[in-house]
Structure 1
Amino acid sequence: MPTKASPLPVTTSSSENSSFIYDYDYLDDLTVLVCRKDAVLSFGRIFLPVIYSLIFVLGLAGNLLLLVVLLRYVPRRRMIERYLLNLAISNLLFVATMPFWAISVVWQWVFGNFLCKVVSILYTINFYCGIFFITCMSLDKYLEIVRARPLRRPQRRFRSLLLIAVVWTTALAISVPEMVFVQAHQTLDGVWHCYADFGGHATIWKLYLRFQQNLLGFLLPLLAMIFFYSRIGCVLVRLRPPGQGRALRMATALVVAFFLLWFPYNLTLFLHSLLDLQVFGNCQLSHYLDYALQVTESLAFSHCCLTPMLYAFSSRRFRQYLKALLAAALRRHQDPDTAQALPPSYSESSGATAQEDVVSMNELGERQADDPIDKGDMGNSQA
């Protein structure tokens, strides 16, 4: 669940029964300290709704555009485009939860217990799916370019569908705590909040969920992307295909973008865990981490707006699809009879894409998938 303003402006060590993942409490020796968070809460009630609203608008527009292009102009989708399709669906479901959290921060949770559980589950599932599908796309390029094993179309289709099913199943399993513990709660002053009530084990659960986020949501995907793209880079340097330089720059940009979006957020979560474990901390540092958590979380959430476009526009094929969509939209008011038709040269230019110079990771993967001879040569060159 995203960072939310606590129902109480004061946190103490007695909040062990509180179930917020991001409780801001600590102990100094055996003395119970009180650390007021009025300024943090006031900042969150202004900053978070604005950011959540921007993420909702931009993420909805960008992912809907990606979804329309893939569904309308790609009847026979390749594996990379299947992953992009699922990424777009996942991001749409993720941004759909943003208005609920924005309203709950400004006011209170007014949507009832059922929607509290549903929205929390959707948030967690699609939070992880967005990261996992990005990792799947790097794995797909690795298998096509580095392994270069000639697979028949049914085999490639089965492999991609199996991996997609594994991603959704894994994300569903990760959301089990939300299914079990999340519900709407009313405070003594009559204000409703939606959060997971872990009873007397809140601190243990907080540490577990943060560790899970650090490991599954950042460290393992980052290491996988570094491994896959570094191996791809070695093959590109060895074989020197056309467009090698741009493909290497694209691979580097994808890894760097993932790191820049997710590292600050995961570092802040890790420091919060150290704070809960009493490794260090005081009230002032707790305030700083609270502010940092809200800012870095917002940066991480922007992945659903930026990442799909980064991957999509790295492909010349997708840019052709987008041009066709925009051209059809512009002609709609001029000639309704031809608004649904593709440009006359569209099919020819699309069919010629695989024969053009490789200019990105996607084009190189497409060329490898369509040319068994190149695959055999690449496999021999690695032997």
Structure 2
Amino acid sequence: MNPFDYNYTEEELLAAYGEIEEPCSVNHRKNIENFLQLFVHPIICIVGFIGNTLVILTYALYKRTKSMTDVYLLNVAIADILFVVALPLIIYSEQHDWAMGNWSCKLLHGVYSVNLYSGMLLLACISGDRYFAIVQARRSFRLRSSTLLYSRLVCVAVWLLALVLSLPTFVFYERYQPGPVESSLYNSTQDSNTPYECFFRFHSNETARMMKTMVPSSQVAVGFCLPLLIMGFCYSSVIVTLLRAKNFQRHKAVRVVLTVVLVFVACHMPYNIALLYYTINIFSEQECSHEEAVELTMIITKSLAYVHSCLNPLLYAFIGVNFRNHFQKILRDIWCLGKNYMSARRSSRVTTEMYISSRRSVDGSTNDNGTSFTM
């Protein structure tokens, strides 16, 4: 059990833990956490940033958002890219004693929480949109005729709900330095230069108990179970409808749907099961070995959940034929611009006049390509 679930005074901690001979060691957990933060999470952030940036650029420059799914996919990419930007800043701050101050502690963890909720809920919205488009195609025709307005309202509602669910993080997260008694419970040697922490900080036991139960519970319930139930119902109905079609392309679509669901479950279920178990036993006394095993499980499974932000572009955007066509057009245009630019650089070595002429040709090609942005 974490002895600081309530902000006890040092006198109370001394009275409660005065007979403890040796505190639980956290060195093994810290080593694994540092390894993941320094070698695994940067890869996740780089891949996720590149993939989601390409999705945003494709929608912004080439594929104008024309359907509800397009709007949802664009918002998912925005949520994921904000997530992979906030994560390395959090890691950097943890490694450097939260030197940017209390505001960075609240802001970074708050943004992290907002994008966590919004990303998961938007994936549920995509499954709902696919359900209405395939299973309830006739009944939803009028509703989907005003796709952009409806989908934008849904996205605004999702972001607002994510912000409301993240308010405890903005309010109660603080940068603080553990006291000498608190430090001694976690360190076998006394260190006057105790590093700063960024975590929940409460001023009453009642608030601590309520928030330390409510926050992870809402993350499991709203951030995982609710999207999973919606996706399970919608995609199972979609699969039944597609199987009735008896078409090869529809059977291929079934495999895509199953892949989407299985990847979602494989990435997020382990961490949410560990988080739920931790929440249920948060106020119970545990052996050091058991507590360390639970915390290690949460650290490793959380990294697995991060991987989903890298896979979202592949699962939802690049899997579509139209989106791939637009993306290939981007690559061709970039290649042509780069080729013309290199040609211009080579010609500049011969004469200045040829260099100016080639630069004009590049400008002309850019203007021609501008027409493709609106297609």
TM-score (norm 1): 0.78
Aligned to 1:21: none
Aligned to 1:238: 244
- Offset, 1:113: 1.7
Aligned to 2:171: 180
Task: Specify the SS of the correspondent of 1:147.
Answer: coil
Residue from 3, 17, 21 that aligns with 2:7:
17
Task: Tell me the alpha carbon deviations over residues 242-293 of structure 1, each in whole angstroms, 9 at most, x when there is no partner.
Answer: 5111011111111101000001101111221233243x84211111111111
Aligned to 1:265: 271
Task: Specify the SS of the correspondent of 1:17.
Answer: coil
CA distance in 2 between partners of 1:46 and 1:308 (Å): 26
Matched, 1:123 2:150: no
Task: Tell me the alpha carbon deviations over residues 60-105 of structure 1, each in whole angstroms, 9 at most, x when there is no partner.
Answer: 1111111101111112432111111111111111111112221233
- Offset, 1:122: 0.8
Unaligned segments of structure 1, at least 5 residues = 1-10, 19-26, 351-383
- Offset, 1:124: 0.7
AA in 2 matched with 1:333: G
Aligned to 2:129: 140
- Aligned ranges for residues 159-170 of structure 1 at < 5 Å? 159-170=150-161
Unaligned segments of structure 2, at least 5 residues = 9-15, 180-192, 341-361
CA distance in 1 between partners of 2:250 and 2:5 (Å): 56
Residue from 206, 224, 228 that aligns with 1:222:
228
CA distance in 2 between partners of 1:177 and 1:15 (Å): 15
Task: Specify the SS of the correspondent of 2:6.
Answer: helix
Residue from 186, 191, 202 that aligns with 2:195:
191
Aligned to 1:290: 295
Residue from 53, 56, 77 that aligns with 1:88:
77
TM-score (norm 2): 0.80
- Offset, 1:153: 6.3
Decide whether the 8 Å contact of 1:59 with 1:305 is kept in 2.
yes
CA distance in 2 between partners of 1:56 and 1:221 (Å): 23
CA distance in 1 between partners of 2:298 and 2:23 (Å): 20
Decide whether the 8 Å contact of 2:68 with 2:129 is kept in 1.
yes
Decide whether the 8 Å contact of 1:324 with 1:343 is kept in 2.
no
Aligned to 1:274: 280
AA in 2 matched with 1:338: S
Q: 1:341 to 1:193 in 2, by over 3 A?
A: farther
Aligned to 2:189: none
CA distance in 2 between partners of 1:231 and 1:81 (Å): 21
Aligned to 2:149: 158
CA distance in 2 between partners of 1:277 and 1:32 (Å): 21
- Offset, 1:176: 0.9
Q: 1:73 to 1:125 in 2, by over 3 A?
A: same
